[in-house]
Amino acid sequence: MKLALIVTLGLLATPVLAQTTDEDARANALITPMLQELAPGYHGQVLAACVVAHATSDEKTTMANAAGPSTEIGAIVTAVLNRPETVGCVEATLKQ
Mean pLDDT for 60-79 is 96
- Residue 71 structural domain: 2-95
Query: What whole-number percentage of the chain has pLDDT above 90?
Result: 72
Predicted confidence (pLDDT) at residue 5 exceeds the cutoff of 70 = no
Long-range (24+ apart) CB contacts under 8 A made by 63-67 are: 63/26, 63/27, 63/30, 63/31, 64/22, 64/23, 64/24, 64/26, 64/27, 64/30, 65/26, 66/30
Phi, psi at residue 68, to the nearest 5°? 170, 180
Q: Return the CA Rg of the chain.
A: 13
d(CA 78, CA 94) in angstroms, rounded, equals: 19
pTM of the model: 0.79
- The mean of the pLDDT values for the chain is 85
Please tell me the total count of domains within the chain: 1
